[in-house]
């Protein structure tokens, strides 16, 4: 049984010999009265103003003038009376110093207790036995300045589905056009220091897998009219009732998602979609994903599909996909590179995604090629591939020509669907006819950190040491355990990689035992009693704000939790995102001083291990509060936050949780560790219905 860690402050009070002091004062009383008679009647006594004797000038009015014209100086050390006076002054000054010291110590003690009282620090992960210094909570409230304790206000209704950095009207006013007004623009964004409220009829999403097929319509910004006006394929995938949207992801109807997935597998040369894993396919980028039905169907075959779509003020594909518990983020093919490394995905899928691949001299197809691994597949479904009019046929030929110049091999075409396969041979590019464009990027081209850079008109990834065919890589789940050669690419050793994996397995076991509202209450237990662990499907959407090498994600999967993780690699740290992608997971590069590209209320758990140390070890253009406000926007009501860091930063973070209205508790990791856990839960606050 783990024991609670009690924190307290012991203050040693100095022992002042008050009796001796007052004895000497009474003994000296007659001399004091004589001095007062000779002194000016307008001067205060030294006890009332102890610093006056030290800092005043030697004027006549200070000591008086004797009858012989010489000043009578009480500090002349020639007489017993002057020596006694000096001792008395020293004792008085000592008394004042002790009083000041006591007051300072009392103030520091109050601050220390107020910091510890709200921490509720407990020893161990599983045993929570008693609150710490709860009787001093009121003292803690008084000790902090009122401005520091002031809770943040809730945002107005217009921010209910607020996504910073995607303000179409502002972008148009700034001169963006030709589709670029939907692009991400963070430089001109003003911070909103308020908390985004849930809609009036918001309900906690249903747990997986039920939540994959049924969502509450009030949780998203979509109307019944928008559902009914969706395209024919989308309508066949959705049903609408008064409060819910149902997705028929397992439908066997004609043109259903299962038949569609089966068709793609056959075009590649596989028996069915269950064989994608054996063909080296694990991660898929679904461009313009609709409402995520393609990825929802493939998830049961252990395929991980990342949905991306442009920002939409309402009826958002990304918002509904995340509400279903599927990977998604706001991103678009317009003018910027996506924040993924080169050679990141085994398949790119675009079914009527609305992208004109023949535009801008094929530069959008070059970006698709950058993201695709050697031997990977590009699947495109569009009426353009089967059109009869001359204009559409001309555009289709242009796209075919671009694909050929990129060394893509067309495997098959059925109806409106075409499947290309990217070459596995680097010398294919040098053997193109007449040195056909686009050219290869130079060796100095940074293919691993493309954080929203301008699109490049050159083929990237050919110089990368990660140029490995999808069929040469280990199949899932063996891919999760990179071999010695693959780790060497990132400067890692097998033993340190294995040690990292084991430490995260232990951390996940301990984390899971803490994810209960009982952590915020006094929970009496008899010896031997244990809390029942949370169910395996308690969480679905998980955000790791500082993923490092993906060990947290791997440990969750190996523990059998029914979830997926968005692995975020901060720009301020080492870029291990290519390694995470090579392990078969999804992730993104991000600057945490900017808003994350997603809608509010999309994650069940936000995890941040070492993020505060990483971000605030250097001068940042944002504060810890700015990052926490963004976490609150991303987190679903009743969602969890786990922050792991050094004690001073954890204490600073805990102090901010009051302003964010989070329930919070600090938990000790190990008795000899300099790190702590901050466990928080976001309460459910809803806007009142009009």
Residue 215 belongs to a domain: no
Cβ count within 10 A of residue 235: 13
Token pair 């390694």: residue: 579
Alpha helices in 308-350 (DSSP H): 317-323
Give me the residues paired with residue 646 across strands: 675
Looking at 394, 412, 431, which one is the last position of a domain? 431
Looking at 395, 415, 431, which one is the last position of a domain? 431
Residue 336 sits in a domain whose CATH number is 3.40.50.150
Residue 176 belongs to a domain: no
Q: Which residues, in sequence order, are CB contacts of 671 under 8 Å at separation 6+?
A: 5, 123
- C-alpha span between 616 and 626 (Å, rounded): 12
Q: What pLDDT band is residue 431 in, cutting at 50, 70 and 90?
A: confident
217 Rama class: left (phi>0) / alpha (psi -120 to 50) / beta: alpha
- Per-chain mean pLDDT for the chain: 80
Length of the chain, in residues: 690
Residue 143 belongs to a domain: no
Do residue 409 and residue 301 come from a single domain?
A: yes
Do residue 555 and residue 620 come from a single domain?
A: yes
Do residue 392 and residue 495 come from a single domain?
A: no
Q: Would you call the peptide bond into 171 cis, given omega within 30 degrees of 0 as the criterion? A: no
CA distances from 293 to 197, 279, 320, 349, 653 (A): 28, 22, 10, 13, 39
Do residue 311 and residue 407 come from a single domain?
A: yes
Cβ burial, residue 314 (10 Å; 0-12/13-18/19+): exposed
Residue 67, pLDDT above cutoff 70: no
Total domains in the chain come to 2
Range with the poorest average pLDDT among 30-44, 425-439, 495-509: 30-44
Looking at 405, 431, 457, which one is the last position of a domain? 431
Do residue 302 and residue 426 come from a single domain?
A: yes
Residue 458 belongs to a domain: no
Percent share of the chain, pLDDT over 70: 74
Q: What is the pLDDT of residues 655-666, one digit of tens each?
A: 999 999 999 999
622 Rama class: left (phi>0) / alpha (psi -120 to 50) / beta: beta
Do residue 397 and residue 511 come from a single domain?
A: no
- Domain that includes residue 619, residue range: 476-524+534-682
Tokens coding 67: 């009858």
Give the angle subtended at the CA of 305 by the CAs of 303 and 309, to the nearest 5°. 170
Residue 549 belongs to a domain: yes
Residue 354 belongs to a domain: yes
What element of type H or E holds 638?
strand 635-646
Whole-structure pTM value: 0.77
Q: Provide the pLDDT for residue 657.
A: 96
Residue 139 belongs to a domain: no
Do residue 376 and residue 488 come from a single domain?
A: no
Residue 452, pLDDT above cutoff 80: yes
Q: Provide the pLDDT for residue 35.
A: 38
Do residue 562 and residue 641 come from a single domain?
A: yes
Range with the poorest average pLDDT among 78-82, 452-456, 514-518: 78-82
Residue 225 belongs to a domain: no
Tokens coding 343: 């050679």
- Count the alpha carbons within 13 Å of 234 in the hemisphere toward its beta carbon: 20
Residue 638, pLDDT above cutoff 60: yes
What element of type H or E holds 542?
strand 541-544
């Amino acid at each position: 049984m783990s024991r609670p860690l009690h924190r307290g402050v012991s203050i040693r009070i100095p022992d002042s010999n008050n009796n001796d002091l007052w004895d000497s004062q009474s003994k000296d009383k007659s001399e004091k009265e004589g001095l007062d008679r000779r002194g000016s009647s307008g001067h205060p006594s030294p006890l009332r103003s102890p610093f006056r004797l030290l800092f005043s000038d030697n004027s006549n009015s200070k000591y008086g003038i004797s009858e012989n014209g010489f000043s009578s100086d009480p500090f002349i050390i020639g007489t017993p009376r002057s020596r006694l006076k000096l001792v008395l002054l020293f004792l008085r000054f000592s008394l004042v110093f002790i009083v000041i010291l006591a007051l300072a110590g009392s103030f520091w003690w109050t601050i220390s207790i107020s910091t510890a009282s709200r921490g509720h620090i407990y020893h161990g992960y599983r045993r929570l036995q008693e609150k710490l210094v709860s009787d001093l909570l009121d003292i803690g409230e008084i000790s902090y300045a009122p401005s520091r304790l002031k809770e943040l206000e809730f945002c107005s209704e217009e921010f209910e589905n607020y996504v910073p950095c995607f303000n179409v009207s502002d972008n148009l006013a700034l001169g963006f056009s030709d589709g670029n007004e939907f692009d991400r623009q963070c430089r001109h964004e003003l911070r909103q220091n308020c908390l985004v409220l849930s809609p009036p009829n918001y309900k906690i999403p249903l747990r997986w897998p039920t939540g994959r097929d049924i969502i509450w319509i009030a949780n998203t910004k979509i109307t019944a009219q928008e559902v009914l006006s969706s395209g024919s394929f989308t309508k066949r995938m959705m049903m609408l009732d008064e409060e819910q949207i149902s997705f028929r992801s397992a439908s066997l109807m004609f043109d259903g998602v299962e038949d569609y997935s089966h068709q793609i597998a056959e075009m590649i040369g596989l028996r069915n979609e269950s064989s994608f894993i054996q063909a080296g396919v694990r991660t898929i980028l679904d461009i313009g994903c609709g409402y995520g039905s393609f990825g929802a169907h493939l998830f049961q075959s252990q395929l991980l599909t990342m949905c991306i779509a442009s920002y939409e003020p309402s009826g958002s594909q990304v918002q509904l996909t995340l509400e279903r518990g599927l990977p998604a983020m706001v991103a678009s093919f317009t003018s910027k590179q996506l924040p993924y490394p080169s050679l990141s995905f085994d398949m790119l899928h675009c079914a009527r995604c609305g992208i004109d691949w023949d535009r801008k001299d094929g530069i959008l197809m070059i970006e698709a090629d950058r993201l695709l691994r050697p031997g990977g597949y590009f699947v495109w479904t569009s009426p353009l591939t089967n059109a009869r009019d001359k204009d559409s046929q001309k555009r289709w030929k242009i796209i075919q020509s671009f694909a050929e110049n990129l060394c893509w091999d067309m495997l098959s075409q059925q109806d409106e669907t075409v499947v290309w396969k990217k070459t596995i041979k680097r010398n294919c590019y040098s053997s193109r006819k007449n040195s056909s464009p686009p050219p290869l990027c130079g060796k100095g081209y940074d293919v691993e950190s493309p954080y929203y850079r301008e699109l490049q008109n050159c083929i990237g990834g050919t110089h990368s040491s990660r140029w490995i065919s999808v069929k040469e890589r280990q199949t899932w789940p063996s891919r999760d355990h990179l071999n010695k050669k693959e780790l060497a690419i990132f400067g890692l050793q097998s033993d340190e990689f294995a040690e990292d994996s084991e430490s995260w397995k232990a951390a996940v076991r301990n984390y899971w035992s803490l994810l209960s509202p009982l952590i915020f209450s006094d929970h009496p237990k008899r010896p031997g009693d244990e809390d029942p662990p949370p169910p395996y499907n308690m969480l679905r959407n998980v955000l790791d704000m500082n993923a490092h090498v993906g060990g947290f994600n791997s440990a969750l999967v190996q523990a059998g939790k029914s979830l997926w993780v968005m692995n975020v690699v901060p720009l301020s740290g080492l870029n291990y995102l290519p390694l995470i992608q090579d392990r078969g997971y999804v992730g993104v590069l991000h600057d945490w001083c900017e808003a994350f590209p997603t809608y509010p209320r999309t994650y069940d758990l936000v995890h941040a291990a070492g993020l505060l140390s990483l971000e605030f070890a250097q001068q940042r253009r944002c504060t810890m509060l700015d990052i926490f406000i963004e976490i609150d926007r991303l987190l679903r009501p009743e969602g969890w936050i786990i922050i792991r860091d050094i004690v001073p930063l954890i204490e600073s973070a805990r102090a901010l949780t009051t302003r964010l209205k989070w329930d919070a508790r600090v938990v000790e990791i190990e008795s000899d560790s300099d790190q702590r856990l901050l466990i928080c839960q976001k309460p459910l606050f809803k806007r009142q219905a009009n």
